Amino acid sequence: MKTDTQHSPAGTKPAQLPQLHEQRNPGMELDLDWVAAVQANTSAIERRAATLPGRRTVKKAYQAAWLLKAVTCIDLTTLSGDDTPGRVRRLCAKARQPVRADILEALGMGPITTGAVCVYHEMVPTAVEALAGTGIPVAAVSTGFPAGLSPFRLRVEEIRESVAAGASEIDIVISRRHVLLGNWQALYDEVRSFREACGEAHMKAILATGELGSLRNVARASLVCMMAGADFIKTSTGKESVNATLPVSLTMIRAIRDYHRRTGHRVGYKPAGGISKAKAALNYLAMMRDELGTRWLEPDLFRFGASSLLGDIERQLEHHVTGRYSAAWRHPAG
C-alpha cells in the first residue's frame, strides 16, 4: 500500500541546511574475522529493494523539498573524452546555480548549489578556478579510472597530483581482482595507500559493484574499504554495464550502518551511474532515510554521481511551480 510520507527529508519545512562536517573515518586494522562473517541474503535484499518505490512516496510540496535536497547532494559530473575547459566552466556555472532563480523564488527558496563538481585530473585546475570562493568542492577521479589497471606507483602519484592541483575530494577505483580472489589484505593495503596519498582530501572508494560478482562480495569489499579509511564508498564508475541499483545500495548502506555501530565512525555513500530521473533520486533518498537516518541526507555523507539527473529534477520543480512540463533545453546542464 502506498503512503504519502508527509515530511521533508530532514523532518522540517523546505530549507537549505548548512553543510555539516563529520569527523573523518580514520579507519582501523584489518579484521579478517569480521570480514569473513559478513553475508548477504540476496533474495531478501532484492525483495526489500523491490518494495521500496511503492512504499515510500512523497507528493506536492514535500516532493519539491526532497528534490531540492537531492540537488544539494549531486556531484555534478563530466567524464567524457571530449571534455574541454569551456565545458567544465559551463558545468561549474550550473553547479553554482543548479536551479533557475525564478523557480527557487516561486518555492520560497534562497540560492542553493550542488554538492561538488567531479572531473578528470586534467580539468581540475579549470574547475578550481571556476568555483573559487563558492565553497563547492572539486572531486577528481583517479587511480587509473575507470579500470584501475595502471601501475600502482602511477595510481598513487595521480592522487597526489590531483590534490596538488586543488582537488579536495578524490574518487579512487579499487582493483576488482582483489575482491574476486578474496584477497582482502591486498585490497586493504591498496586502499590504505590511496588514503595516505589523499592527505587532507576526502577519499571516495569506487567498488565497481557491477563487476564484483555477488552482493556478498559487495558487502565485504565495502567493509574492507571502510576499515582502510574511506570517507565514502561509491557504487560505480558509470562505465560498467551495470551501475547503481537499489539492491547494491541497500547492501552497501547496511555495511555502513554496521561499521558505524561497531566503530562510531560515519562513512558516506555515493550511488553513481544510471541515475538520471528525479523519481529514482527520491527512492535513494528514502532508502537512506529509512536505513541510516536523516543525518545521512547531508552532502558531507551522501552524494549522487550524476550528469543528467539535475535536468530532470529541474523540470519536475518547474512542473510543481507552473503545472506544466517544460522542454529539456530550458534547463541546460552548463
Give per-residue pLDDT as tens, 97-128. 999 999 999 999 999 999 999 999 999 999 99
Helix (H, G, I), strand (E, B) or coil at 138: strand
Higher per-residue confidence, 20 vs 148: 148
Average pLDDT for the chain: 92
Closest CA to 283 of 70, 107, 116, 39: 70
Say whether pLDDT at 19 is over 70. no
Enumerate residues 6+ apart whose C-beta is below 8 A from 242: 209, 210, 236
Q: What is the per-residue pLDDT for 23?
A: 86
Say whether pLDDT at 230 is over 60. yes
**Taking the CB of residue 111, how many other CB atoms lie within 10 A of it?**
11
d(Cα 229, Cα 224) in Å, to the nearest integer? 9
d(Cα 331, Cα 38) in Å, to the nearest integer? 44
Say whether pLDDT at 10 is over 60. no
**What single-letter amino acid sits at 207?**
L
d(Cα 77, Cα 214) in Å, to the nearest integer? 27
Q: Is 234 in the active site?
A: yes
Q: What is the pTM of this model?
A: 0.92
d(Cα 145, Cα 239) in Å, to the nearest integer? 10
Instruction: Give the domain ranges of the chain.
Output: 32-323
**Taking the CB of residue 50, how many other CB atoms lie within 10 A of it?**
11
Which cell numbers in the block locate residue 108? 520560497
Helix (H, G, I), strand (E, B) or coil at 209: helix
Residue 192 banded pLDDT, cuts 50, 70, 90: very high
Say whether pLDDT at 7 is over 50. no
Q: How far is CA 172 from the centre of its chain?
A: 13
Strand partners for 76: 117, 306
Question: What is the mean predicted confidence (pLDDT) over 244-257?
Answer: 97
Say whether pLDDT at 85 is over 60. yes
Q: Is 2 in the active site?
A: no
d(Cα 178, Cα 95) in Å, to the nearest integer? 36
Residue 324 banded pLDDT, cuts 50, 70, 90: confident
CA Rg value for the chain: 19
Catalytic choice (69, 94, 204, 234): 234
d(Cα 97, Cα 113) in Å, to the nearest integer? 6
- CATH class of the domain defined by 32-323: alpha beta
d(Cα 192, Cα 26) in Å, to the nearest integer? 10
pLDDT digits (tens, 9 = 90+) for 232-245: 999 999 999 999 99
Q: What is the per-residue pLDDT for 21?
A: 61
Distances (CA, A) of 313 to 108, 112, 193: 17, 14, 38
pLDDT digits (tens, 9 = 90+) for 34-69: 999 999 999 999 999 999 887 767 888 999 999 999
d(Cα 220, Cα 204) in Å, to the nearest integer? 16
Give the whole-number percent of the chain exceeding pLDDT 70: 92
Catalytic choice (171, 231, 300, 312): 171
Task: Return the percent helix, strand and coil in the chain, to nearest 5.
Answer: 50, 10, 40
Q: How far is CA 219 from the centre of its chain?
A: 17
